Structure 1
Amino acid sequence: MVGPASIRSCHSRLLFLFSNRREIALGGAGTMALWALGIVLSAAAVGGVEAGVAAGRGPQSCGFPALFSFGDNNSDVGQHQAMFADLDLPNGQTFFGKYSGRFCDGRLIIDFIAEHLGFPYLGAYFDTYNRNYRHGASFALGGSSLDVAKGWSPFSLDRQFFLFNHFKSLTLHRFNNHTADGMKDDTALNLLPRPEEFPKALYIIDIGQNDFAFDLLNSKAAEAQQSILARLDSFDYSIQALHQWYAANVIMVLNVGPLGCLPYHAKTYLKNNPGSAVDQNGCSKDQNDLIQEFNKQLKARIQKLRGLNPNATLTYVDVYSAKYNLISNARKLGFNDPMKFCCGSYDDRYIPCGRKGFKAESCSDPSKYISWDGIHYTEAANRFVAKQIINGSLSDPPLPLAEACRKP
């Protein structure tokens, strides 16, 4: 979730954009022009790799040549910023020293994963200037959801797949129209994955939080539970499409985190539903019970999909447990009260961190906070979760990230 105060204006701008350029969402001529422009700019730029990023390959037994990311604000590395340019400092201050297009003071989980695999930080698909897609790209966008009607962005998961397919098709077309000698002189080709690398890449999906956030801002958890089956069906369809239509063979699905422990959502739900239960951490129990039921059924669906897709390797990642354990043991792990946040405000209305024209300053030490802005996590919290994803302790089957291509 991006932030309720800015959601409607952002959504209106997106709807206006897509009503006039519908081809962008569907991978038509608008996207082609945008993508081609990005390649020209990238080819003209020096290097194209973010400064300060390790260029070497990390230790990975699967030898993943690329990483592709799909999802929402938890893994948006610049899509929202490229479209709206409203994520200023102090976003990005902890690690990048400048705004980075992330809803965070520093790195996201996907950034730590890219580091571990020895890749540059992924470039956002729409942030085409000075980007290097040699080892993958991110299609995640803040506000996105499984159901386009239950989020704050037209880029639902299936539409992100359309964008990926368009990116892949144009990449293949460009390679297929160059001879071996010609490729040496085409700088743009050095910024793109090789055609044979798409089936060997790692694909990560982190989405679903906004679907439930949207429902729970307007209804009780018991009512929102009626939508679980439809969301599972959407996940089911999307995973099979990514494998069967787009030739992704190694797919990791991150489950939905404890929505009821995000300070903004906990406060808003408890205000709208006085008397509803809270746990020992101050989290909304109704919301978390709903998410846990969804995650339980999602895990069962993925187990079933393994049998239906024997050529795919599907991993279920329980980030809910990692995040909830972090919140439950916040003080023992050196963090402040987990229901407090570092930047932004929502006393009268939600003001995103760094919003121009508003006072939304950062705390003095973000590393002591779990929540960055009441909705998103700090770099310190993301690092805690990422370490467990990397070592495989959250995964089913329980394999380290670098061995995710293996079948147990």
Structure 2
Amino acid sequence: MGFRAPWVSSFGLFLIIIFLFSANGVVEASSRRLLHRHHHGRGLHAAGFRPAKLFVFGDSYADTGNNKMNEASWKVPYGVTFPGKPAGRFSSGRVLTDFLAKSVGLESPVPYQGRNMEDRRFNSGMNFAYGGTGVFDTTVAYPNMTTQIGLFKQLIDDGTFSAADLASSLTLVTLSGNDYSAYTAKNGLIPSALQEFIVSVVSQLGTNLKQLYELGARKVAVAALQPLGCIPRFTAVNSFQKCNDTLNSLVGFHNQLLRKAVSDLNNQTASSTFVVVDLYTSFMSVLNSTDSTFVDPLKPCCVGVSSRFNCGTVDADGTKKYTVCEAPESAFFWDMAHPTQAGWRAVYTSLSAALEQQL
């Protein structure tokens, strides 16, 4: 389901509009074999790669608590798997940041918004990711990636982090598609304009990656765009049974440009390693597995009782307007846009070996 065609049918354009006006997410189905390898594999830390700290930039696929406490990530039933209560993650539990941190022998870095808590330490780095954001301003009032990097620079300037910290650390950058939903919500969909916008998004992402290098980051892992055509908000139209190849073709165009941008950065910068974390391939590999532990992998665990409501919605009387599946660990998707902890575990298991080789 990779990049297949440079054209999009009229019906495909209609579907893209529906999709891009909604939140984006990821789809995957796990396999027992992959999960087994995750628990018993060597991991990046065991293989010898041990960064001093982990710094994180991006959106809800990496955010571990930066959004305001009135957001869904801080409401029941989010966090039901880990830590057993809402904790600012857009999932039933751990997200990509958590699995990467554990793999390199670190605790998950402190969210930027929690930096002033007395019991917080920065030994593992810091997480600047905010749910709903992109490289440009989106529909949420949170820092875009340039601003996130600016917050990081302030902490470098005031001595919270040093040049030595950066040179010996790993940086994770995620970009999950919020720029595209914000763009089409404002401008509508003109195919040629959207193609130009994809180019501008990847160009800006490349600029942001170079900014991180100029600050001192030397190992940077940047996530490829996941298969957007598979999120539950979109696949609901066919009862969560089938991804949309047209949408995934647009993802392929984005990812082709990203790989070129990363290759150029590696050629232009000295003593640095920029790598692409291939979320697209890992998601689809697990999704297409015939040995899956997930039941109905495109179907979310937590859903509103109707299209008017979302996971975590309650009415004025406190009555729940959502339902939760009996076993979140048997579902890949948590809500209409984000994986469960089990989903993220399967994603990371699938990509960890390749990431280890690149780093």
Instruction: Please give the TM-score of this superposition, normalised by the length of structure 2.
Output: 0.78
Is 1:371 aligned to 2:333, yes or no? yes
Question: 2:40 — aligned with what?
Answer: none
Cα RMSD for the two superposed structures: 2.8
Q: Is the CA contact 1:198–1:247 (under 8 Å) kept in the aligned structure 2?
A: yes
Q: Which has the higher contact order (CA 8 A, sep 6+)?
A: 2
Question: 2:322 — aligned with what?
Answer: 360
Query: Which segments of 5 or more consecutive residues in structure 2 lack a partner in the other structure?
Result: 1-19, 24-43
CA distance in structure 2 between the aligned counterparts of 1:194 and 1:60, rounded to whole angstroms:
26
SS of match in other structure, 2:110: coil
Find the partner of 1:168 among 122, 138, 156: 156
Question: 2:171 — aligned with what?
Answer: 203
Is 1:61 aligned to 2:48, yes or no? yes
Instruction: Please give the TM-score of this superposition, normalised by the length of structure 1.
Output: 0.70
Q: Is the CA contact 1:252–1:316 (under 8 Å) kept in the aligned structure 2?
A: yes
Tell me which amino acid in the other structure corresponds to 2:298: M
CA distance in structure 1 between the aligned counterparts of 2:206 and 2:342, rounded to whole angstroms:
32
Work out the percentage of aligned pairs sharing the same amino acid: 24
CA distance in structure 2 between the aligned counterparts of 1:217 and 1:285, rounded to whole angstroms:
22
Q: Is the CA contact 1:95–1:106 (under 8 Å) kept in the aligned structure 2?
A: yes
SS of match in other structure, 2:274: strand
Tell me which amino acid in the other structure corresponds to 1:256: L
SS of match in other structure, 1:387: helix
Question: 2:244 — aligned with what?
Answer: 284
Q: Is the CA contact 1:221–1:287 (under 8 Å) kept in the aligned structure 2?
A: no
Query: Which segments of 5 or more consecutive residues in structure 1 lack a partner in the other structure?
Result: 7-56, 173-192, 271-277
Is 1:308 aligned to 2:268, yes or no? yes
Question: 2:207 — aligned with what?
Answer: 237
Find the partner of 1:251 among 213, 217, 220: 220
Alignment of 1:21-60 (within 5 A): 58-59=45-46
Change (3 A) 1:216 1:369: farther
Q: CA deviation at 1:255?
A: 0.6
Q: CA deviation at 1:61?
A: 2.4
Q: CA deviation at 1:266?
A: 3.9
Q: CA deviation at 1:236?
A: 1.4
Find the partner of 2:83 among 90, 93, 96: 96
Question: 1:21 — aligned with what?
Answer: none
Find the partner of 1:323 among 273, 276, 283: 283
Q: CA deviation at 1:90?
A: 1.6
CA distance in structure 2 between the aligned counterparts of 1:247 and 1:83, rounded to whole angstroms:
35
Change (3 A) 1:351 1:253: same
Q: Is the CA contact 1:353–1:362 (under 8 Å) kept in the aligned structure 2?
A: no
Quick check: which has more Rg, 1 or 2? 1
SS of match in other structure, 2:339: coil
CA distance in structure 2 between the aligned counterparts of 1:77 and 1:265, rounded to whole angstroms:
25
